[in-house]
Structure 1
Amino acid sequence: MTTQRNRTVRGTGRATAAAVAALCAVAALPGPAWAAGEAPYAYDSAAQRVKGAATTTDSPRLKAGSVYRDSIARDGKLYYRVDLDGVHHAYVSVVAVPPPGAKTDYSDGIKVSLQDGSGSQCGAQETQFGPAGYTRPLTAYAVREVEPGHDGGSCQSPGAYYVLVERTSKSAATPEDWGLEIRHVTEPEVKTAGPTEAPEDWPSASPQPPGGGPQKRKGGTSFHDAASVTEGEWRDDIKPGETLFYRVPVNWGQQLFATAELGSSPTGDEYVSNALVLSLDNPAGGHVDDNTLSYNGKQATLALDPNPPVAYANRFDSDNSVSAVRFAGWYYLSATLNPDLAAEYGDKPVPLTLRVNVVGKANNGPGYVGDPGPFAVTDDDRDAAASGQSGAEAEATSGTMKVVAATGIGAGAVLLLGLGGWTLAARRRAAQEAAAARTAQGPTQYGPPPAW
């Protein structure tokens, strides 16, 4: 069945301490914080504060490979600058984060566009809340693509380009400022030009449910701390108003299928429309697709529309859901539960099952000139997906290993040092707790507590 196209340390002692501290930092990473039934968005800790300007002349510069934070008012239009060469494709993505409980209209949304110095629009994407109508993080990105063999011209020459971020509705019902998380990444050119047309059709038959049975995997609260998953069936619980994030490594030539199921309720049968939104975003932070389901207390399942296998040529399609599946890397799934469920079913978590299939044999892709950056699936990525590491945890682990390498200390020695410290601390805590308990109970026939 097919779907037709339609859419670096001084001194050994100091080095050891640095390595151990780094390792301990990984273990001490905080878990998600939940508040009043809604999860705050965990902005990337490396994000720099920036303030978008009202004009291109005053716009602050965004550096490639960096993450930024800003906010945008109800009637906001913000400009930023990016300096581009004439070789790399460029992407600027925005996550718009309304405050929890903010009012929204179905037409509220975010638009990101990229313009050259003459005002020509190079690319744009707009995303709205749509029929679901309730607050959740929204993503959109703008693209500057370099055409093979270009001789300059509109959106092709090196120079200053301008990113415009807009709220697309000025509804009086949505006065609150929205937070913004902004990323700028570049994609290298390819060694050899390939097809310049997107596929006309691709497999769309739903694959067999992933084997192995359900496994527990707690979703993250943002793209930065999204829980890594691989093919399989993943169990979580989601509260009204929460958005949970997961990421899946999808390589060149592979096709992602995803479904979400809300479990049945033991207490009610009230109908809630648009009870769950399941969204898919690509490695550059561009929106790919979303879907919703309604709920009446019985189990309900939704599936994302089947997109083609990941291919470089997909970018030539006019349908955003096809063109967005243009490179390998981490693809992000997010699930948001309608806050209205609290009124009908209480503010208790609802069982959520995420089923992920990654179909097809991975291939080498187009062959980039230089480091592909986020547009690849590495062994470390596959390990993270198998273990459930979030992006933040994977980055911290990678940083720790770099410290270990720089200090010349074996990873095993660092682990032993770290584990020794943790064991000693645990014994001390246990002894203190035991002593406190005996003091509270008074003397016993067994005499004084042992000395540790």
Structure 2
Amino acid sequence: MTSPTGVTGPAVPTGATGLDRRFRRRAGAVAAALCATAVALGTCAPGAWAANGGPSGDPRTYRTAEDAEKVTGSSSSADAPELTSGLFTDRIKPGEEKYYALDLDARSDVHITATGVPDPGTRITYQDGLQVTLQNTDGDTCDQGDTKGSGATAFPLSAYASRLMGDPDDEACRVKGPYLVHIVREEGDNSDPSSWPLELSVMEEPGLKGAIPAPRPGAEEETDENNTRPAPPSGPAKTRKGGTGFNDARAVGDGVWKDRLRPGETRYFRVPVDWGQRLYARMEVPNAAREAKAGSSFLPHGFRMNVYNPARAPLYDEQVKSYNGDGAKFDHYSNPVRYENRFLDRDSVSGTRFAGWYYVAVTVGPDMVQQFPDGTPVTLRIGVEGHAKASPSYAGDARTAGFGVDDQDREMAEKGLTEAEADSNATLRTFGWAGVGAGSALLLVLAVWLLTARRRAAAAAPQGWPPHPPYTHG
């Protein structure tokens, strides 16, 4: 007869056939249990880290953090819900104002970012935007930031404000007590009428031990426009599918990376940048196919790229670049990450005020479907320049608070993990040896069981039937 593995041998007597069937059935059950154990350990789940989305279909929308707390901001400061360190979600309508309360100490720097999320592919104007203000209960403004849409192309809009203990001009905002976060959704004549999801990030940064360093002479001139570009990273591009937002941004490090975006889609990547280092990011869009360039191929709203610091504050004013079918590129080069940069005026300089995960967001306009009907290929060239320097002497754990870089972050960038994937990997490592032990024990039990079952099968077989038939290939 022919065995299930494709080899032939003598006919098996009836008594042994029943045992063999039960043997295979039980062995299959044990194997299934082993497979289930392996899946639980995350070792045999194919495509476990596969990114969602592809070139076709609707653009993916911004994914808020799963553990974000839902709040409803009030129209009056008297009824403002209280925020703490963490992430919160709300919604905001055109022209709407919302208040939230904070209770701050007199030691920490506090960073607040509001991210409004219009639907991908919708048309927004230069007047659409967000404004966030941090103020004390006397009405004094501690800090204010705003962001505007750019060129009829919707993308997540992030506005940032902070309270800095070392700022000599904000004495009224350095005391312990209640504060208010005031958020306004600004609108124009033809603004998007829909309500936007709103994500709020509140981060507390420990103060320093000892004196706060003064800004370095000349640092104010180390702007993106004045920085001499390094040689862009070269070599074959590796595929890394970006995330929908800050929360599922895909980690990347030095190198050349590629993705394919749907029309109107925004994707996020994150890069670990340590103290003293600089981030170089370049976005490239290739030339369109010859037939796609027939007639007028100029698109005024082709693509954009921006960089955000670990507190999600944008480093640069939003810009959407045109595209004419012949290929295009756009880059940013930050100044070195230094604690004392926070007291400088320009956002592109003061934004590089702490080490940690920096985010690169890229968007392709809805009209890019004319040139790339199957999705727009995008290449990212990422370079982290300079040697890492020692962290400032914090009076607390800045790394846990989200400000700093460690070896695990660099490993995540090397492997291209999202934060959720990295957390899963850490969990697997925590009980990995226990899982290996459990799997080994199951394998040992299976081996003993197989040996016992085979001996029983041999004992039950009619005399003369060999327990190990000399199978030959047929």
Pairwise same-fold verdict (TM > 0.5) = yes
| 8 Å CA contact retained: 1:102, 1:176 | no
Corresponding residue for 2:417? 389
2:67: which partner in 1? 46
Q: Deviations over 1:386-422 (max 9, x none)?
A: 00001221233334555x3xxxx726627958x99xx
1:314 corresponds in structure 2 to 341
Task: Report what 1:125 is aligned to.
Answer: 145
Asked if structure 2 preserves the Cα contact closer than 8 Å seen for 1:291 and 1:303, the reply is no
Superposition pairs of residues 53-202 of structure 1, within 5 angstroms: 53-64=74-85, 66-130=86-150, 132-147=151-166, 153-198=171-216, 199-202=219-222
Q: Structure 1 pair 160/244, CA: closer, same or farther in 2 (3 Å)?
A: same
> Cα distance, 1:374 vs. partner?
0.8
Q: Note if 1:378 corresponds to 2:406.
A: yes
Quick check: 1:364 aligned with 2:390?
yes
Please state how far the C-alpha of 1:159 moved relative to its aligned partner.
Answer: 1.0
* Closer, same or farther: CA 386–176 of 1 in aligned 2, 3 Å: same
CA contact (8 A) 1:265 1:350 kept: no
**Corresponding residue of 2:364:** 337
How far, CA to CA, are the matches of 1:143 and 1:25 in structure 2?
A: 45
Note the 1:390-405 alignment, pairs <5 A: 390-401=418-429, 404=431
For 1:258, the equivalent position in structure 2 comes to 281
User: How many Å separate the matches in 2 of 1:62 and 1:90?
Assistant: 12
Asked whether the equivalents of residues 121 and 265 of structure 2 are also in contact (C-alpha less than 8 Å), the reply is no
Paired AA for residue 243 in structure 1: T
Q: Which moved further from structure 2: 92-101 or 152-161?
A: 152-161
Contact 2:299 2:322 in 1 (8 A): yes
Retained in 2: the 8 A contact 1:112–1:125?
A: yes
TM-aligned CA distance change 1:335 to 1:183, over 3 Å = same
- Partner of 2:410, secondary structure, is helix
Counterparts of 2:57 and 2:154 in 1: how far apart (Å)?
15
Distance 1:101 1:300, change over 3 A: closer
The alignment partner of 2:100 has SS state of: strand
Structure 1 portions without partners, runs of 5+: 1-16, 421-452
**Distance change (3 Å), C-alpha of 1:126 and 1:22:** farther
1:268 aligned onto 2:296: no
Provide TM-score, normalisation by structure 1: 0.81
One-letter amino acid of the counterpart of residue 355, structure 2: A
The 8 Å contact of residues 301 and 367 in structure 2, kept in 1 or not, is answered as no
Partner of 1:436: none
Aligned 8 A contact 1:84 1:159 in 2:
yes
Residues 85 and 159 of structure 1 are in contact (CA less than 8 Å); yes or no, is this contact kept in structure 2?
Answer: yes
Stretch of structure 1 that moved more, 345-354 or 55-64: 345-354
State the 1:28 CA deviation. Answer: 5.2
Deviations 1:182-225 (A, max 9, x none): 11110001123242225244482211121443111111111111
Taking every aligned residue pair, what percent have the same amino acid on both sides? 34
Q: Determine the C-alpha separation between the residues in 2 that align with 1:264 and 1:411.
A: 52
Counterpart CA distance in 2 for 1:415 and 1:36 is 43
Residue of structure 2 in register with 1:12 after alignment:
none
User: What is the SS of the residue equivalent to 1:322?
Assistant: helix
Asked which structure has the greater CA Rg, the reply is 2
Q: Residue 268 of structure 1 aligns to a residue in which SS?
A: helix
CA offset digits 1:131-188 (Å, max 9, x no partner):
x2211111111101113799x9511111111111111224343211111111111000
Contact 1:110–1:139 under 8 Å retained in 2 = yes
1:348 and 2:411 matched: no
Question: What is the Cα deviation at residue 252 of structure 1?
Answer: 0.3
C-alpha displacement of 1:105:
1.2
Q: Which of 298, 301, 305 is 2:329 aligned to?
A: 301
Quick one: structure 1 residues 176 and 190, their matched pair in 2 at CA, closer, same or farther if it must change by over 3 Å?
same
Alignment of 1:280-291 (within 5 A): 280-289=307-316, 290-291=318-319
Change (3 A) 1:29 1:206: closer
1:188 maps to a residue whose letter is P
Report the Cα offset of residue 347 of structure 1.
3.2
Native 8 Å contact 1:271 1:297 kept in 2: yes
Which residue of 353, 378, 381 maps to 1:326?
353
1:196-211 equivalences in 2 (<5 Å): 196-198=214-216, 199-202=219-222, 204-211=227-234
Two-structure CA RMSD over aligned residues (Å) = 2.7
The residue type equivalent to 1:50 in the other structure is V
For 1:189, the aligned partner's letter is: G
Query: For residue 213 of structure 1, what is the aligned residue in structure 2?
Result: 236
Aligned partners of 1:311, 1:134: CA distance in 2, in Å? Answer: 33
Give SS of 1:154's match: helix
Give the residue type in structure 1 aligned to 2:385.
V
Cα separation, 2, equivalents of 1:28 and 1:95: 29
What's the counterpart of residue 305 of structure 2?
A: 278
CA gap 1:293/1:50 in 2 versus in 1, 3 angstroms: same
Aligned length: 393
Change (3 A) 1:25 1:187: farther
Structure 2 match to 1:448: none
CA contact (8 A) 2:254 2:383 kept: yes
Q: Secondary structure at 1:287's aligned position in 2?
A: coil
SS of alignment partner, residue 77 of structure 2: coil
TM-score (norm 2): 0.77
